[in-house]
Amino acid sequence: MSRITGDPILDVQDLAMRFPVKKGLFGRTVGHVHAVDGVSFTIQQGETLGLVGESGCGKTTLGRSVARILEPTSGQIVYRGRDGAATDLATLGRRQLRPFQRDIRVVFQDPFSSLNPRMTLLQIVGDPLRAHGIAAGGELEDRVAEMLTRVGLSPKYMRRYPHAFSGGERQRVNIARALIVHPRLVIADEPVSALDVSVRAQILNLLWDLQDEFDLTYLFISHDLSVVESICDRVAVMYLGRIAELAQTAELYARPRHPYTEALLSAVPVPDPRLRDGDRRIRIADDLPDPADPPPGCRFHSRCRYAEPGTCDVPGSEPALGAVGPEHLAACHLTDRLTLQSPFDAPRSR
Ligand SMILES: Nc1ncnc2c1ncn2[C@@H]1O[C@H](COP(=O)(O)OP(=O)(O)OP(=O)(O)O)[C@@H](O)[C@H]1O
């Protein structure tokens, strides 16, 4: 854990991203999807912060808003640069953002659709060097060859097109493209979800090695809690556009303080046969509620096995994300009264 300096590299405050819901022939706006709804967190330099939650809870939207691929509706995204200067990225125009887009890079989920099939590896990986005016010609080619080698691909294939490569190899190309400009913060959005299980560990190990070598900080987005446990220092659990719980990985997995985290953990496959006995899985009722119309009060109450009428469902009484232990935050009205279970009862280190 020594790679974590303790200096925040990113401080996100009250971030919101709402998408208009349009209806009818004239595309009238009839409401808004609250994809990200008042999210605050920090990331320390050198750490890996995991962002978990089921499909549709807003993870991708949050990652893309932080990278300013999407224009957030409101909130602050304060980035601390190499010189220590803090800049609120949410206030910057496209042109002012350019230098920061070198520092903050995204690795996208699907290695099949995220690479342009008409570009060679040289063009794909070299493009950010060209776009940021860092290198051209022979120097660009040398740098691409070096980076391809670093991610485990032979530079002799650099004039081939993506279709000639497997999913794992394409994800290595994606990673090379992200790292070629030596970023500081990498937002990895489900980087191994589309890959065969056999390839996942290789890509995770690569990300881990590159983190040390390039002094990287990761925001690691995944719906897979096993993957997150293996790679993240801290984990934020998202539910319907908000953070429900945030803590050090070992602490969160051993002592969940939010019923949603408890339910997610109960569904994680564990190797220990003692824990596989019986059905320990906590089933969460129904599908994710409509993010255009989140439930009143605690937005998890409609699916929570512990919800108390008159406490958890009171309109306007949404629980705030508050301290429940050292470096442990949770947003639940009942957290102090609940004894939640976890199959990860003994903390394991990374
Ligand atoms: N461009 C868009 N326009 C309208 N709604 C959107 C848009 N992008 C995302 N949403 C909605 O925002 C909510 C959050 O979606 P998001 O993709 O961020 O979730 P997620 O947790 O990353 O899920 P997944 O893992 O399936 O990608 C969903 O209800 C989704 O339908």
Write the pLDDT tens digit of every residue in 129-185: 999 999 999 999 999 999 999 999 999 999 999 999 999 999 999 999 999 999 999
Q: How far is the CA of 275 from the centre of ligand 1 (A)?
A: 34
Closest by alpha carbon to 179, among 103, 70, 83? 103
Q: How far is the CA of 280 from the centre of ligand 1 (A)?
A: 30
List the residue whose alpha carbon is closest to atom 14 of ligand 1.
Answer: 58
* Strand ranges across the sheet with 185-189: 104-107, 185-189, 217-221, 48-52, 234-239, 242-248, 328-330, 322-325
**Which residue spans of the chain are classified as CATH 3.40.50.300?**
8-232
- Per CATH, the number for 8-232 is 3.40.50.300
Best of 32, 34, 54, 60 for a ligand 1 pocket test (most atoms within 8 Å of beta carbon): 60
Q: Is the pLDDT of residue 305 over 90?
A: yes
The 10s digit of each residue's pLDDT in 232-260 is 999 999 999 999 999 999 999 999 999 99
pTM of the model: 0.93
Half-sphere exposure of 187 (CA within 13 A, CB side): 22
Contact 7, 44 (CB under 8 A): yes
Q: What pLDDT score was predicted for residue 275?
A: 57
CA geometry: angle 61, 43, 108, nearest 5 deg: 40
Q: What is the mean pLDDT of the chain?
A: 91
Q: Which of 17-26, 58-67, 334-343 has the lowest mean pLDDT?
A: 17-26
Q: Is the pLDDT of residue 308 over 70?
A: yes
Q: Is the pLDDT of residue 278 over 60?
A: no
Best of 15, 21, 33, 51 for a ligand 1 pocket test (most atoms within 8 Å of beta carbon): 33
pLDDT, mean of residues 114-124:
92
Q: What pLDDT score was predicted for residue 349?
A: 47
* Strand ranges across the sheet with 86-88: 28-44, 8-23, 74-80, 86-88
Please report, rounded to a whole number, the percentage of residues in the chain having pLDDT higher than 70. Answer: 94
Higher pLDDT, 30 or 250: 250
104: its two tokens: 């903050």
